[in-house]
Amino acid sequence: MLCHLPGKKGEMDFSKIPKIRDEDRESLFGYVHGVSGPVVTACNMAGAAMYELVRVGHSELVGEIIRLEGDMATIQVYEETSGVSVGDPVLRTGKPLSVELGPGIMGAIFDGIQRPLSDINALTKSIYIPRGVNVSALSRDIKWEFTPSKNLRVGSHITGGDIYGVVNENSLIRHKIMLPPRNRGTVTYIAPPGNYDASDVVLELEFEGVKEKFSMVQVWPVRQVRPVTEKLPANHPLLTGQRVLDALFPCVQGGTTAIPGAFGCGKTVISQSLSKYSNSDVIIYVGCGERGNEMSEVLRDFPELTMEVDGKVESIMKRTALVANTSNMPVAAREASIYTGITLSEYFRDMGYHVSMMADSTSRWAEALREISGRLAEMPADSGYPAYLGARLASFYERAGRVKCLGNPEREGSVSIVGAVSPPGGDFSDPVTSATLGIVQVFWGLDKKLAQRKHFPSVNWLISYSKYTRALDEYYDKHFTEFVPLRTKAKEILQEEEDLAEIVQLVGKASLAETDKITLEVAKLIKDDFLQQNGYTPYDRTQSKMVRQKSRRTTLNSSRTCRMHSAVWRTEFRLCSPLHVEILMLLQFSVLHMRRKRG
């Protein structure tokens, strides 16, 4: 039965109905309701948003809201929660977890939520990160030499992504200062050339009567993809410096790659070799949940490594940023470190650079998802991982690609993702490995048996693959016309050797035909002297090219042994293709030349 409230006839009187005031509904402070490891529940959180950044407890620990139910919020905390008790305050910030983007990133070492480890060490005089420490990601004390764009002046119209200035961060990186993607307007002030710190105002815009000031630093949410004009087809190779990868299973700039392998197979060494020798302009190395001694090795070795650019020897750290999140740090921060790394990569991509991001390893991130999912009492899927594991991995790998950047002047950039995967016991049927292989386009499978034989890189040439070979055929046909048929023939030789290996085990090598014996010898040469490589010395990285150049000039003419072998082997290869002979001769000359050099 409907009852009318007192008032005018036929009308309802709403004046006496109690109204919920905004200050009653929403508050800047909530209160801790429960604590379970890195997961904290808080009450009085009505009005909060998903993935909003909060500060938990009296120590103001950094956390992120991952679930909302009524006025209750579930928070994953990126720091140790010991000491947090029921009733402690939870401060809402009203903004998502974000990173600072600007001059000073190159050469820096951050933790998973972009806190600079060197600045924290200088501030606290401790080798440990204290709880609740709040340090700016980019130093405000360093003065940067800012040069405005020549075609920009007061009255010019600019939009998001436009480059309005340049800072020479070091001798390798020209840091292009861009307008944040969501802004536009008319220039009312542009700073003259000079030295400014990261917080100084260098640009002022007016749009619809509202003025806004900009410094050289912009803040961007880590879970949000930075916009681009369009995605482009990836058709330029990502050179790694590893012969087995560049020759047989190439990747492209803007591609996605997985390196699964058991403990001790050399995943980290391959990731570090990519950081040292790849043809990328910028390297973002993320140590996600790896052992502390591995990250300490990276932190110790990288500053000492050098590279040659235009005849000058430069430190690799000038083009590298490290995100270190070791296994003894809180598990929730592993997810943040992955998103921090990819956001930094997208920022440099938008400048027009080719960026490579190394994630070592995504399995640790998946384990963190499993632990937090268990604490949230979610329904487990295969091996206890959450059902949304594949979606999370896909959303991460999809941020790779070669793009046409937003804004003027027109430029192209790319982000290549190389993710190491650590399946337990080297089992490639692990859910993380299976989900990853369904997403990435290049698979560099590491073999425990090869590693035990000290064959490094221990990439198994029979199970590895690359789906970019057709995309790169046009590039190779243009620059190296013989490359594609030589690669095809080399793969055929390796496959034939694998088929013959079973026969040899049954009846012995002596019962094989002479052509089969030569196939085994050629395959041995390819495996031992071409695919095998020392990852700790630059000599082996450049040896192959040097051998090819010198072998045809000197070894062919001066080595009687070579002439004898070539005559015999050419006779045996009467029925084989000339390409087979060419590979054989090339590798045989290389082997003899290397042995002579080493002798």
Q: CATH number, domain at 65?
A: 2.40.30.20
Q: Are residues 175 and 87 in the same domain?
A: no
Domain shared by 307 and 434, yes or no:
yes
Percent of the chain with pLDDT over 90: 60
Q: Which residue from 255, 308, 251 is spatially nearest to 277, judged by alpha carbons?
A: 308
| 563/558 Cα distance (integer angstroms) | 9
The answer to whether residue 572 sits within a structural domain is: yes
38 is written with which tokens? 């890195």
**In total, how many domains does the chain have?**
4
pLDDT tens-place values along the chain, 599 residues long: 444 444 444 444 444 444 434 444 456 889 999 999 999 999 999 989 999 999 999 999 999 999 999 999 999 999 999 999 999 999 999 999 999 999 999 999 999 999 999 999 999 888 888 888 889 999 999 999 999 999 899 999 999 999 999 999 999 999 999 999 999 999 999 999 999 999 999 999 999 999 999 999 999 999 999 999 999 999 999 988 888 998 899 999 999 999 999 888 988 788 878 888 889 999 999 999 888 888 888 888 887 888 777 778 888 899 999 999 888 888 889 989 999 999 999 999 999 999 999 998 899 999 999 999 999 999 999 999 999 999 999 999 999 999 999 999 999 999 999 999 999 888 899 999 999 999 999 999 999 999 999 999 999 999 999 999 999 999 988 888 888 888 888 899 999 999 999 899 999 888 888 888 888 988 888 898 888 888 777 667 655 433 434 433 333 333 333 333 333 333 333 333 344 445 545 554 444 444 444 44
Whether 182 maps to a domain, the answer reads: yes
Query: Is residue 309 located within the same domain as residue 455?
Result: yes
Residue 34 lies in a domain: yes
Q: Is residue 101 part of a domain?
A: no
Measured distance between the N- and C-terminal CA atoms of the chain, rounded to whole angstroms: 104
User: Do 452 and 347 lie in a common domain?
Assistant: yes
* Same domain membership, residue 199 and residue 286: no
Specify whether 177 is located in the same domain as 211. yes
Owning domain of residue 355: 230-467
pLDDT digits (tens, 9 = 90+) for 396-452: 999 999 999 999 999 999 999 999 999 988 889 999 999 999 999 999 999 999 999
Domain end position, chosen among 221, 243, 261: 221
- Statement to judge: residues 238 and 215 lie in one domain: no
Establish if 117 belongs to a structural domain.
Answer: no
Q: Is residue 103 part of a domain?
A: no
Q: Are residues 388 and 240 in the same domain?
A: yes
Are 160 and 245 within one domain?
no
Of 157, 189, 221, the domain-final residue: 221
State how far the Cα of 232 lies from the Cα of 22, in Å rounded to an integer: 47
CATH classification at residue 186: 2.40.50.100
Pairing state between β 412-421 and 256-260: parallel
264 and 234 co-located in one domain: yes
Residue with tokens 């299976």: 434
Position 102 in a domain: no
Bridge-partner residues for 62, per DSSP? 55
Q: What's the pTM value of the predicted model, to 2 decimals?
A: 0.86
Q: Are residues 49 and 74 in the same domain?
A: yes
Q: Are strands 442-443 and 412-421 parallel, antiparallel or unpaired?
A: unpaired
